[in-house]
Each structure stands twice: as structure tokens, then as C-alpha cells.
Amino acid sequence: MTKTFIATVIALSIISCSAEQPEQIAENKTATELELPTRPNILWLVAEDLGPWIPPFGDSTVATPNLSRLSAEGIRYPNMYSPSGVCAPSRAAIATGMYPTSIGATHMRTGSYMDETGNAKYEAIPPAEVKMVSEILRMNGYYCTNNSKTDYQFKHPVTAWDESSKYAHWRNRAKDQPFFAIFNFTQCHESGLFEPYGFRKEELRHYVAGDRSYHDIGWGKRTTEEEVTVHISKDADFPIPPYLPDNEVVRRDMWKMYNNIAEMDKQLGAVLQQLEDDGLLENTIVFFYGDHGGPLPRQKRFVYDSGLNTPMIIRYPNKQQAGAIDKQLTSFVDFAPTLLSLVGISPPKYLQGQAFLGAHQAKEERKYIHGASDRFDGFTDAIRAVRDGQFKYVRNYRPEQGYYKPLVYREKIPTTQELLRLRDEGKLDSIQALWFRETKDMEELYDCFADPHELNNLANDPAYKEKLAELSAEIDRWIKEIGDQPNLPESELIAQLWNGADEKPVTVNPVINVVDGKVTISSSTEGASIGYKIINPSGERSKTWLVYQEPFTPAPGSMLKAQAHRIGFGASEVVEYILERE
């Protein structure tokens, strides 16, 4: 066992613009040393479209027994933020440790709505040295699986995962091999509010080696409302935010949202049970988090905390620091360095985040988190935001545009339809009408303690002049540091990513060289990852694409397959080579 140190955890109160400050987590806690395995397993349990609306974070509207247990046995992080209020840019940040605005991943999505924008399909292209964090773990002996959503704003290389599908599972790894596994839960997605109501489910299966078969762990096809398990009464007292009307339509969507949260908790519990059944719980660090904030109007896609803030829980082996709260500011760009730090790998220097745990934990905690909002579907905007422990600053680069964008997808939500109806009838109150202003303020400033829903703009209040200047300067510093170009036309962004070419660049085919039976593989594309498979003369083959790192010596007569792929480029062709027999 090795000792990993984390900073002192002091929980005085929740610092969050999107939730009340619950009494049950307002106690002082102090974290001491953590005893971790040298190569711990890592399990990520990821919910979609989830704000801090679960009992461990002060909202007891619906019971979540599995998350409540995880919280009681782990550490809560109330101040986790996505750099974007929508999924694909968020996943780009998680996968690479880079801000979406710095690598061309900020628009939702890079391969969609080209008819509306007039642009070609493209992918985010980070600097050549950037690798997906899962690939780095694979290079260090970890078995890495994703079940099963990708959506990174780029196609992942074959080197990224041992498995990435609905069948992916740690149970498919070699005996005693450490693993990094992600399970994505879709129940809370905004589409779960559409009518007719029914859980939008994806099959989640596990592989049972004994009988070499796959088994559902509890769900597969989409259900109808009649088939839905009702976890909460439709007449419950729902905490409706002031920017939404309190009526029957909104209450039905609130019921669906909380019912979906409870269903997600049930499915998440099935995966935790598998971990426990396998005897791996106390050798595994378990992360739970959402991919950004909530699904309702003025939540998803916004840079307010309702769109960026999501709950996070981390459970360590043997329930170390059970019940503690760490209220430091954390961002999705910190996930990659923190993951590497926890397993003892020095994070690469190019990462824009910092480790908040582990052997390579940053010496100082974050003072700010940052967020951005650009194109969603066919509608482009340009917004940047920064938040410290109490205040949020928002800069609107297109103040002449209103906030509301008529996204067809979002307008499938009954609450959105109800807001539009009341707007047209002139029946929205002053708070509910804020979303439909024809223009935006160039600058916004909010006190997230006094104004948790970010409704009262203090930017023009002389009493907050210094705070406005501080956070405005921090936006400027951050933009310069990461090379962000706010309000850059997407066509110009694509031209920069493609280095002025008319088409997306393609990774050059790998070259396989064999000298005295030793194989080397290379590609002339800078930064290309190279995956390979070996098929032995007996027919035995690599189960997954291996990550090429150094020369190797396969059996004479083997067939080799290789593919090169730099993130954001097109993948090369698969090249084959047959070694001579002795």
C-alpha cells in the first residue's frame, strides 16, 4: 500500500448557486491520509443532465438509496463544474484534460447542423501531444472500458479503449489486471422529459466468463408511461425554481425529472452491486458525477450554475473519509490529471487542468472555474464565464442577441412549450421573462450566496466594482492562456484546425518495419496514436487493439494489423503485414 495525501477538507456550507445550503452537510470535517492500493481500480458512474437535486446534496424530493449510501461512505464535492452546459464539449474536456474552447470542441456538435451553419463536418483537433486519458492508462497497464456513450467532438482512436460498447465491462479483463471503467446512465437526459413519457434506456450488460454469455442487468428497451416504475408521487411538493411557472405542466415535468433520477439511482445500484459481488469494492475508487447541470429550461446549455454545476461523490476503499465534504472548486478539465495522479502516473505538462487528489495533487486549490457557451444546434452565440467561491461573472460577446434560441430539440419539453405559450400571452412574471429579453447585458455579475438562481445582475452596482474588475481580468487571463478566440466564426475555426486545407486532415498510414524479427511501427503524422493487433500462426489473436509504444517481437509467421490515428484527423487505413516463418 502507498500513502496518498489530499488537502484538508473543510465543509462549512455548500457554495453553490443552484442548491440551498443543507444543514446535514454544514459540519466541519477534516481529511487525513488515504491508504490506497498501488494500482487501484477506477470506476466512473456518470449521469446525464443532473444538477445537485439528490439527498446527499440537500434535495430530498426523491429517495436515492444507492447514491445516499455512496455519499455516506465517500466524500461529497458540491463545487464540481463542467466548462460547458451541454454534453459533447464536456466530454471533450473530461477525455483530454483540455478546455473545449482551446481545441475546437466548443460548438454543439462539430458534426451536426451543417445545413444551418453552412460549414463542413469537422472534429476538434487538440495539440499533437494530447492523448485521451484512457489511452495513457492503457499504456500503463490498465484495462479501460466505456459503456457506452462517446460523443467527444472527435472520433476516438482504436487505442483509446479496450472496449467501448454496451458490452464493455471490467469482467472481460485479464485476471488481476487493474481497470478503469465508465458506465453512462441516460435516464436523466432532457429527452426523458419528452412526451409520451417513458424511460429512454440503453442496454447495459455484463459478460459472465463462466458461461461465455452476456446478461442484462435490468433494462433494455424503452418503456411507456404505463410500464414506468413510479418512484415519487405526482402530487409531491416539487421545488420549482423561480424562473419557471408553478403550474400543472411544469409540475409534471418536475415529476418526470425526479422519477428519472430515482430510476438512474436504481440502475447505478446494479453496477455497484456487481462491483461488490466481484469482491472489488475495496480495491476500487468510485466516482459519481453528472455530465453537466440540469435538463430544464434555463439550465442545460447555460453558463449559470444551473447548467454547469453537477454533484460529485468519490468513495475510497474501506470508506476512508466517509461522510466528509470537500468544497474546493473543481472542473472537468481536472479529471484527467486527477485520475492519473490517483494511480501514480505523473500528469503530462500539456494538461490545462490540475490534479485535486493523489500523489501529484496541485499545491494550491483552484481560485476560479471557467465556462463557455457557443453554438447549440443551428444557433450561434458567444459567452464566457468565470466563478470564484461566491461570485459569477458572465461576458456576452453578442449582447445584441437575446438568450432564447428556438432549438427544436429543447422545444419538445412541455415546460419549454408552456413558457412560450405564457410569453405569447403576456403572462410571464418579470423573473420568468428574463430568458426572453431581446438583448443581453454585455456583462453580468451575480452573488451566488445571496442570489442562488443568478437573477439579479450586479455589474452596474458601484459596490461591486472591484469584484467586477477582478473577474473580468481573470476572463482575459484565461482566454489568453488557453488560446481561446471568443466569437470567432466557425468557418474560420475550421480553417485554422485544418491549417487552411479544404478537407479534414487524414492520418498517414503506419509503416511496419521488421529487422531480425523485431517489429517497429511508425506514422509520419505528428502525434498519431498507433494501434496494432497480432494474429499468431495458430490463429490466436489480440482481443483488442494494443497501443504501440516500443519495438516488440511476435512469433514468426504472425500477421500484424496496424492503424494510426491522431485525434481530430481521419484515421489511417488498416495496414497488414505477415512475418516470415522460420
Kindly list the distances between the CA atom of residue 517 and the CA atoms of 79, 257, 468, 509, in Å, as whole numbers in the listed order. Answer: 54, 60, 65, 21
Distance CA 364, CA 384 (A): 24
Please give the helix or strand (H or E) that residue 71 lies within, else none.
helix 65-72
In 485-576, where does DSSP find H-type helix? 490-497
223 pLDDT higher than 90? no
pLDDT band for position 23 (cuts 50, 70, 90): very low
6: number of Cβ within 10 Å: 22
- Longest C-alpha distance within the chain, in Å? 85
Residue among 130, 119, 87, 80 at smallest CA distance from 106: 87
28 Cβ partners below 8 Å, 6+ apart?
A: 10, 11, 12
Domains and CATH numbers, the chain: 2-366 (3.40.720.10), 373-497 (3.30.1120), 511-578 (2.60.40.10)
426 pLDDT higher than 60? yes
Cβ atoms of 201 and 219 closer than 8 Å: yes
Distance CA 186, CA 261 (A): 10
Nine-digit cell string for 507: 492520418
Cβ atoms of 32 and 65 closer than 8 Å: no
pLDDT one-digit tens code per residue, 468-509:
999 999 999 999 999 999 999 999 999 999 999 999 999 999
Cβ atoms of 184 and 149 closer than 8 Å: yes
Kindly list the distances between the CA atom of residue 531 and the CA atoms of 172, 179, 504, in Å, as whole numbers in the listed order. Answer: 19, 19, 21
Total-model pTM:
0.93
Q: How far apart are the first and last CA of the chain?
A: 46
Name the phi and psi angles at 120, rounded to 5.
-80, 160
pLDDT one-digit tens code per residue, 248-293:
999 999 999 999 999 999 999 999 999 999 999 999 999 999 999 9
- Write down the pLDDT at residue 322: 97
261: number of Cβ within 10 Å: 27
Task: Indicate if 17 belongs to the active site.
Answer: no
- Write down the pLDDT at residue 243: 98
Cis peptide before 298 (omega within 30 of 0): no
207 pLDDT higher than 90? no
Q: Which residue among 17, 87, 188, 448 is the active-site one?
A: 87
- Write down the pLDDT at residue 226: 85
Cβ atoms of 232 and 262 closer than 8 Å: yes
pLDDT one-digit tens code per residue, 306-354:
999 999 999 999 999 999 999 999 999 999 999 999 999 999 999 999 9
**Sign of CA pseudo-dihedral 19, 150, 84, 369:** positive
